[in-house]
């Protein structure tokens, strides 16, 4: 415990660890994100927190689409190549193995347990250097059946991005 109970409380939230992929024209990107949650059943909506200076934010703003690639704990090494920003690793997509999602063409990364393809229905400037992007899930597929307990999370990795 620290001297900051708010931070301590935020650290208790078991954030997932996903790869968000985007595409605009011939430009593609994959990044990792953990600020993602479902916010509606009908229609099926996801809210995603995206840093406004990220390459993905620009691609999503231009294309109006993104895909959430969900990985299992056992496949943690498959997502790690996408942990560095495009600025720090401009060639990170050169060796990426993926196929285009059927509706938007955003990358579906090889090895993902599942994907959820989304079309943006709203964006909100959170006033903190981040935007909240709301996407309607328009397609998806499960490649490796399982449940939420199998899904890769920050606590499983021993990492933290909260507080």
Residue 24 CA to chain centroid, in angstroms? Answer: 17
Predicted confidence (pLDDT) per residue in 34-76, tens digit: 999 999 999 999 999 999 999 999 999 999 999 999 999 999 9
- Kindly report the number of other CB atoms within 10 A of residue 78's CB atom: 19
Q: What is the pTM of this model?
A: 0.94
Q: 14-146 in CATH: which number?
A: 2.30.110.10
CA distance 121 to 45: 9
Average pLDDT over residues 9-35: 93
CA distance 152 to 36: 13
Answer yes or no: are the C-beta atoms of 28 and 58 closer than 8 Å: no
Beta bridge partners of 70: 114
Extents of the domains making up the chain: 14-146
Q: What are phi and psi of 153, to 5 degrees?
A: -130, 160
Per-residue model confidence (pLDDT) at position 10: 85
Predicted confidence (pLDDT) per residue in 113-144, tens digit: 999 999 999 999 999 999 999 999 999 999 99
Answer yes or no: are the C-beta atoms of 117 and 39 closer than 8 Å: no
CA distance 97 to 93: 8
């Amino acid at each position: 415990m620290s001297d900051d109970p708010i931070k301590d409380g935020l650290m208790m939230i078991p954030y997932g660890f996903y790869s968000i992929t985007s595409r605009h024209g011939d430009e593609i990107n994959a990044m990792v994100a953990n600020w993602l949650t479902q916010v509606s059943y009908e229609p099926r909506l996801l809210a995603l927190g995206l840093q406004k200076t990220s390459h993905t934010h620009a691609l999503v703003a231009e294309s109006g689409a993104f895909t959430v690639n969900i990985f299992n704990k056992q496949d943690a090494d498959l997502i790690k190549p996408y942990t560095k920003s495009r600025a720090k690793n401009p060639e990170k997509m050169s060796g990426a193995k993926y196929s285009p999602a059927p509706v938007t063409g955003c990358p579906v990364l090889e090895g993902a347990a599942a994907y959820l393809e989304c079309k943006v229905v709203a964006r909100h400037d959170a006033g903190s250097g981040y935007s909240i992007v709301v996407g309607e899930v328009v397609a998806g597929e499960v490649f490796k059946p399982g449940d939420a307990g199998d899904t890769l999370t920050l606590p499983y990795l021993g990492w933290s991005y909260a507080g």
